[in-house]
Structure 1
């Protein structure tokens, strides 16, 4: 839940000026003092002090847990959010997914020499991100999904071979000591000089493997899209900010550890709260002519004032002096709804320990289309410690029920503690009765992919863990190719092991910790001992 420091910061011009100096959140730089606090973002689950350990709650790794703890309730601001997004939609032009992909401006390289696998077997396919994304200190990859989740025929219109991954803003120089308001925040000058001072929240990256229509050659192109949260300020202007959540010191906002694209909707995990919902039909385009220097005309809000957009200035977001900014991103996708945990959230803050009952953590999500109905899985990243033995719970929902947003959605009648004795699940996906779970082993060795099956209500291990990339994250099944996709999160310089293969002659090198998207064949995985 946002800190009181942030929640109460918007009500006077003096406080707004103070925040502009300290650089707490980007809207503090706006011309208008917000009338509703954009940092109070849905979902907001009720929180209490950490629950005491109850011996009767914990069963065992792989044992049954309570599915009732996973019940989701519609966000309290869903109706208001719908109204705000409709207003924003009337002001800003839109772009469909296919148009966005057609103009993708970044290139991924299949089978480049970057190698986070080390002693692990090579995957069936590997995409290397552009160098700046591969080594970015600011953007950390997490969740992954794709068009195979979105559509039964694995096509979005006529477009196929699409993956999406989420990254969170993990570095805000000058802000590392938050939430202490007295030290560590960016000054106004620092904000203007270095856009990394802004806390941008989450971005989604659309990736497509295709044939270049001009050359006939295969290529892999991608484009980043900023996720947004709408609000209305004191001048009655609709505006937007990046995604925020107060989850210090574990992270500086929404972690986006799991995402699922299903139909028109994109579901994003919000760790302590539930799910945020976005709509592919409301991707806003702030540079429709494709020329950033022209500062294209936008529409008018209810005040009737015509606005323009500026995608060159990376230090601002939202409406400022009748100009729209988006931290330099051409595309913005606003949140349209939320689902929050109905149970009280009592997981201890500042710890990877997890309670055994009550609201879970939405550490990652995935989709299983091999069942009827299609189901969305949700699980926890946990590290057991004294008093908190949970290895992390996992449960599922009928994903179509999440489109209603008028009544509670309950889990499907089962839940289990993960069989990982030491916890640490970064992502999990189920298909054909097998649950695949990624476990990170840090930067010093390959991660491990575990396989489990259900037997008499228990999750039991199937074979031995399979070595995979260092820093493996979320999981996504691409049904048509039979691939299990994931991505790696580490970057050079994040640990001593992440600089092992670099030298003056090759400063980028074949570093163990440069980020890649990769896919293993399910048939190969299932054949492993």
Structure 2
């Protein structure tokens, strides 16, 4: 059975790579028609500046705050036991359309250079609404070495409620699209609502926060939030997805069962990380923005970018935390990542996904400053033979409207993608979102404000000049 599973995964991987060459021309043709006569995003941000003093690295320190195991187990038992990612994907109820079937406005949001090799717009039920916008992406290519979780290749996208209209339960809400990416011609997804256990596991509340970054590693999903007036990284266990039982507007326990504003599934938080030096500020802890997984370090690491305004004079911090070498006891292979109900491992209820000391403190393993502001996407990758990693950042334009910029940064300097007759740096996606590298296929996944798209990592290296 394992041999047949590996063969199926190799065939699916080959199909994904074949699509990269089959759809690139159509998307490129659409993208190159976009006008890019706007002013430059900013001047060249220059080289990365390492941060080594305790005064600089101390504010990046985190403290783990786990949800008690008894609370998680009480909630799980009351809701009928957890289900896995596979259960969600077996009940997808929305389909994505490929780029050629999307509207001209949708396609105009894609990068001009480097061009997407495949792209998808959302189901009309979601695309028609302006109340929600996609803001973060991560994939099973981050989660496991072979890019398969359970029986599927998966793309997760975090969405933020961008307006306060609608009934009270929806205001400030976040949600996650679980997308089945096995067949690159037919992506389908289902919504899952992230929640936070309360009353010692006797109830839950909505995660009422925007999502600016998301990273999936083994069975843990880390999400940036601004919760209860403090910036945090919330931690979710993808083996603890729960089914709701009441289809109603409330969120939490209701007469007759459990409700989640009409969503079929909820994902309860199992913990969080908080900065120990106070509220985010220029001289204190950063406001965490984009997140990504870097599998090119030893051990693997979580990279992050500070959230700053585009066009400001304030320098932006980029940094990384090492992942624990034994994250929850979960093997880094698809054969052993079968999902809740199928996994036959012994896993502790707690244990930091990040490398923490015995008291739960987490220190940054590396940190830099850059003059690049307005960063919405970050990626770190060390090329063969390189002394240090390159950092890729997708940035907003100064006006917060139109196409942003894509830059490759290292300690030696910065190179930005250029396009159009005026060699503008306005080449990246509109309101470009986070970046996620899928090692097995060599693709980088990202978001515009209207579409989900992918392109080879090699294209990001060829494009900057």
TM bucket, shorter chain:
0.7 to 0.9
Q: Against the structure 1 CA distance between its residues 237 and 68, is the aligned structure 2 distance closer, same or farther, given a 3 Å change threshold? A: closer
**Counterpart check, 1:471 vs 2:431:** yes
Match of 1:340 among 269, 274, 281: 274
C-alpha deviation, 1:478, in angstroms: 1.2
C-alpha deviation, 1:83, in angstroms: 2.4
C-alpha deviation, 1:127, in angstroms: 1.0
Report the TM-score when normalising by structure 1: 0.64
User: Deviations for 1:46-82, whole angstroms, at most 9, x for unmatched residues?
Assistant: xxxxxxxxxxxxx99732332222110122xx254x3
C-alpha deviation, 1:218, in angstroms: 4.2
Q: Against the structure 1 CA distance between its residues 118 and 69, is the aligned structure 2 distance closer, same or farther, given a 3 Å change threshold? A: closer
Match of 2:192 among 200, 225, 230: 225
User: In the alignment, which residue of structure 2 is the partner of 1:83?
Assistant: 70
C-alpha deviation, 1:205, in angstroms: 0.9
Aligned partner of residue 329 in structure 1, secondary structure: coil
**Counterpart check, 1:408 vs 2:361:** yes
User: In the alignment, which residue of structure 2 is the partner of 1:62?
Assistant: 48
User: In the alignment, which residue of structure 2 is the partner of 1:492?
Assistant: none
Q: How many residues align?
A: 364
C-alpha deviation, 1:210, in angstroms: 2.8
The separation in 2 between residues aligned to 1:60 and 1:435, in whole angstroms, is 12
Paired residues of 1:134 and 1:516 also in contact (CA < 8 A): no
The separation in 2 between residues aligned to 1:321 and 1:159, in whole angstroms, is 36
Residue pairs, 1:101-116, within 5 angstroms: 101-111=89-99, 112-113=101-102, 114-116=106-108
Paired residues of 1:369 and 1:375 also in contact (CA < 8 A): yes
User: Deviations for 1:446-471, whole angstroms, at most 9, x for unmatched residues?
Assistant: 2211111234xxxx203545612211
User: In the alignment, which residue of structure 2 is the partner of 1:16?
Assistant: none
User: Deviations for 1:151-196, whole angstroms, at most 9, x for unmatched residues?
Assistant: 0121112322x111101222222xxxxxxxxxxxxxxxxxxxx546
Match of 1:486 among 414, 433, 446: 446
Paired residues of 2:49 and 2:411 also in contact (CA < 8 A): no
The separation in 1 between residues aligned to 2:231 and 2:169, in whole angstroms, is 26
Paired residues of 2:231 and 2:280 also in contact (CA < 8 A): no
User: In the alignment, which residue of structure 1 is the partner of 2:40?
Assistant: none
Q: Against the structure 1 CA distance between its residues 231 and 196, is the aligned structure 2 distance closer, same or farther, given a 3 Å change threshold? A: closer
User: In the alignment, which residue of structure 2 is the partner of 1:430?
Assistant: 380
Aligned partner of residue 266 in structure 1, secondary structure: strand
User: In the alignment, which residue of structure 2 is the partner of 1:248?
Assistant: none
**Counterpart check, 1:260 vs 2:215:** yes
Aligned partner of residue 336 in structure 1, secondary structure: strand
Residue pairs, 1:361-372, within 5 angstroms: 361-372=287-298
**Counterpart check, 1:326 vs 2:260:** yes
**Counterpart check, 1:273 vs 2:231:** yes
Match of 1:198 among 170, 177, 180: 170
Moved more, 129-138 or 220-229: 129-138
Provide structure 1 residue ranges, at least 5 long, that are not aligned to the other structure.
Answer: 1-58, 174-193, 212-216, 245-253, 287-308, 348-354, 490-514
Q: Which one has the largest radius of gyration?
A: 1
The separation in 1 between residues aligned to 2:310 and 2:149, in whole angstroms, is 41
The separation in 1 between residues aligned to 2:269 and 2:320, in whole angstroms, is 22
Paired residues of 1:443 and 1:470 also in contact (CA < 8 A): no
Match of 2:303 among 374, 377, 382: 377
C-alpha deviation, 1:324, in angstroms: 1.5
Paired residues of 1:142 and 1:258 also in contact (CA < 8 A): yes
Match of 1:240 among 204, 223, 227: 204
Paired residues of 1:257 and 1:269 also in contact (CA < 8 A): yes
Provide structure 2 residue ranges, at least 5 long, that are not aligned to the other structure.
Answer: 1-44, 326-351, 383-388, 419-424
C-alpha deviation, 1:279, in angstroms: 0.3
User: In the alignment, which residue of structure 2 is the partner of 1:523?
Assistant: 458
User: In the alignment, which residue of structure 2 is the partner of 1:391?
Assistant: 315
User: In the alignment, which residue of structure 2 is the partner of 1:446?
Assistant: 403
Report the TM-score when normalising by structure 2: 0.73
Q: Against the structure 1 CA distance between its residues 79 and 144, is the aligned structure 2 distance closer, same or farther, given a 3 Å change threshold? A: closer
The separation in 1 between residues aligned to 2:110 and 2:201, in whole angstroms, is 52
Paired residues of 2:405 and 2:417 also in contact (CA < 8 A): no
User: Deviations for 1:218-260, whole angstroms, at most 9, x for unmatched residues?
Assistant: 411111100001112xxx881111013xxxxxxxxx2211111
Q: Against the structure 1 CA distance between its residues 373 and 195, is the aligned structure 2 distance closer, same or farther, given a 3 Å change threshold? A: same
The separation in 2 between residues aligned to 1:103 and 1:364, in whole angstroms, is 29
C-alpha deviation, 1:328, in angstroms: 0.3
Paired residues of 1:201 and 1:227 also in contact (CA < 8 A): no
C-alpha deviation, 1:119, in angstroms: 7.9
User: In the alignment, which residue of structure 1 is the partner of 2:6?
Assistant: none
Match of 1:165 among 157, 165, 171: 157
C-alpha deviation, 1:334, in angstroms: 0.4
Aligned partner of residue 462 in structure 1, secondary structure: strand
Q: Against the structure 1 CA distance between its residues 218 and 426, is the aligned structure 2 distance closer, same or farther, given a 3 Å change threshold? A: closer
C-alpha deviation, 1:378, in angstroms: 1.4
